[in-house]
Structure 1
Amino acid sequence: MTTPAHPARTTPTSRDVARAAGVSQATVSLVLGDKWHGRVSPRTAAAVRTAAADLGYRPNQAARSLRLGRTRTALLVVPALTNEFFARVYAGAAATAAEHGFGVVLYPSPDGIGPARDPFASARTALDGVIASSMATGALGALRGTGLPLVMLDSDPHDPAGGDAAAHVNLDIADGMHRVTGHLLGLGHRRLVHLASAVDSWTFDVRARALAETLRATPGTTLRTVRSALDVHSAREAATRALTAPGPRPTALICDDDILAAGACKALHRLGLRVPDDVSVTGFDDLALATALEPELTTVRLPAEQVGNRGMAALLAVLEGRTPDSTDLPVTLVVRDTTAAPAHP
């Protein structure tokens, strides 16, 4: 007795998807290539996606790339992999990229915010575009020389060297610093220390300017700036110097990011001072660290994932000849337990 042969399992094609959705193959190509907007109704696009999912259809990306002349790959350059903020930026960029059949290669600049070298023998043939997070445009000379579209995140939109950037995606950093400074002033603080990042970058310059602007509007305030490398140990030492300097002790430490704030809290603890009873502390970023501290940190929440989303969306818009969204992303003041009215105003 012979066993009947099972019919060969075939890979679904775009024709199968078109037949199942009741549309043409051209419509399937438009929808799955994310070029249907204004040409196909949302209901039809949804029907095509449903049919493709039901059939398990996967476009031949290699063939598609050859037709389009694209690799469907973007490079995300960040100053460091050890900072949670940049990991969240990457997650946002990768999520948006995946929705459009793109991949994202993550590349940390070897020298932090210093010059980033071309990580490929020829980036032009390996990539469709570059997204750079929190870096000066001048640091990207090698990658700019490839002629690839460049989207800058959290960077100076008026930098003369950034004239060839195709788009900028920024957070409303100044508003965040205005909010956190206003919060401290509203509690009655007048003697403040700015625990500032020693990194020379636009985003930290904006924080310093916004802090100074807010204090100028309130008479009787004093501000001392102490700089620190972006690590807890350096921040603890810098905060200790500020707290033990001659003269009246500051009632609040306003920090450029949550890592610096953690160092400030350690300094206060080692000096026998209480947070916020003796000195209030604020951060910036709202990393996971902010709620790991005890007491939990008052800080400014930056929507890092949205920065990545918007950056990838901007690159896709440039590649398709559309105008990217250039509005700043809003930030949020999160008031927790490290701020209170000064004990001795």
Structure 2
Amino acid sequence: MTRPTSRDVAAAAGVSQATVSLVLGDKWRGRVSERTAALVRETATGLGYRPNLAARNLRLGSTRTALLVVPALTNEFFARVYTGAARIAAEHGFGVVLYPSPDGTGPARDPFASARAALDGVIASSMAAAALDAIGGDDLPLVMLDSDPSSTGAAAHINLAMADGMHQVATHLLHHGHRRFLHLASAVDSWTFHVRARALADLLTPTADLTTVKAPLTVDGGRRAVETALAAPGPRPTAIVCDDDILAAGACKAARRLGLRVPEDLSITGFDDLALATAVEPELTTVALPAERVGEQGMTALLAALDGTPWTAPDIPVHLVVRDSSGPAPTP
């Protein structure tokens, strides 16, 4: 059904569009009678009319508010992204409204109704991209984080050098003599995880054996996937490359349950360098991702879009942090 317009409200109330604008813009006092103002408000409510304040506020530049869409705040990475975005926003007199998708990485319900009318733009993780359909706001500038740079519809893309991070992991393990690899991949269908998988396969094929298994992005999901994979017939992998530190923690639990030593029998690596990486024993070799810088660049790119200025930047560098969970391949 077509959304009612101010013209529809004016026709139903028997007044001019100018009168509707004055009343709904709260500028009617001294220009419109209280009786007429009440009639216009009642008519608008009855018709379900909602003014397109998002477009108006964007033109006026009056709200100075950005929306940050992430899968969940339970993941430390996205909390750090918010910290970076909020820091840059504050320096420019902006605020950041945080929307953790209630369904994680899946489709989300619209939590806003009319709240998006108070937004100037959106910064969104590709892992919560489905939430954008629920939120709407197609007329708002959009900055995508960790997403396919060839995709359209966004004013800018902020990406980490994920492929290089995976290359650093693989090169480190190859240098230690590993030739049988298990890739514990996230089951989340997201561009960032596809990039990691392609980068690992490109470097290891055909010099090494690579098996890939997918798991939910939880410690228990990673544990169960690794237990099943290591119980399969054939030579056991000597290194497990995980898409995330959470999965790597699950892999470490699986190794212990199977009586395997890390890293003497099995090297395990993660991705993200969360606090979890140093909470497990042995501490994880992992790729450190500067999450706060992602947030900073995301907000900077959105400010540029609001200013009408094109914004591009190279991928944000990442680096491998070598700890005790990786070491030389076991002697046959």
Mean CA deviation greater in 82-91 or 117-126:
117-126
Q: Which residue of 1 aligns with 2:320?
A: 333
SS in 2 for 1:254: strand
Q: Quote the Cα distance in structure 1 between the aligned partners of 2:161 and 2:195.
A: 10
| TM-aligned CA distance change 1:144 to 1:188, over 3 Å | same
Check the 8 A contact 1:149/1:318 in 2, yes or no. Answer: yes
Within the candidate set 145, 152, 176, 1:153 is matched to: 145
1:36-59 deviations in whole A, cap 9, x for unaligned? xxxxxxxxxxxxxxxxxxxxxxxx
Residue pairs, 1:131-170, within 5 angstroms: 131-135=123-127, 137=129, 139-159=131-151, 163-170=152-159
1:274-295 deviations in whole A, cap 9, x for unaligned? 0000000000000001111111
Q: Quote the Cα distance in structure 1 between the aligned partners of 2:201 and 2:164.
A: 13
Q: Quote the Cα distance in structure 2 between the aligned partners of 1:231 and 1:69.
A: 41
Q: Say how many residue pairs are matched.
A: 276
TM-score between the two structures when normalised by the length of structure 1: 0.76
Residue pairs, 1:53-202, within 5 angstroms: 68-135=60-127, 137=129, 139-159=131-151, 163-202=152-191
Deviation at 1:111, TM superposition (A): 2.3
1:293-333 deviations in whole A, cap 9, x for unaligned? 11111000000000000000000011111222331101101
Deviation at 1:66, TM superposition (A): 11
Residue pairs, 1:198-213, within 5 angstroms: 198-213=187-202
Check the 8 A contact 1:124/1:146 in 2, yes or no. Answer: no
Q: Quote the Cα distance in structure 2 between the aligned partners of 1:124 and 1:200.
A: 27
Check the 8 A contact 1:194/1:255 in 2, yes or no. Answer: yes
| TM-aligned CA distance change 1:150 to 1:123, over 3 Å | farther
Q: Quote the Cα distance in structure 2 between the aligned partners of 1:117 and 1:240.
A: 35
TM-score between the two structures when normalised by the length of structure 2: 0.79
Q: Quote the Cα distance in structure 1 between the aligned partners of 2:138 and 2:201.
A: 40
Check the 8 A contact 2:116/2:135 in 1, yes or no. Answer: no
Check the 8 A contact 2:58/2:140 in 1, yes or no. Answer: no
| TM-aligned CA distance change 1:85 to 1:66, over 3 Å | closer
Deviation at 1:141, TM superposition (A): 2.5
Q: Which residue of 1 aligns with 2:307?
A: 320
1:247-287 deviations in whole A, cap 9, x for unaligned? 11110011000000000001111111100000000000000
Deviation at 1:115, TM superposition (A): 3.1
Task: Give the RMSD, CA atoms, in angstroms.
Answer: 1.8
Check the 8 A contact 1:167/1:326 in 2, yes or no. Answer: no
Q: Quote the Cα distance in structure 2 between the aligned partners of 1:79 and 1:93.
A: 16
1:101-146 deviations in whole A, cap 9, x for unaligned? 1110110122222334443223552100000013365652244544
Q: Which residue of 1 aligns with 2:36?
A: none
1:132-162 deviations in whole A, cap 9, x for unaligned? 0133656522445441100000111223xxx
- The AA in structure 1 aligned to 2:164 is D
Q: Which residue of 1 aligns with 2:256?
A: 269
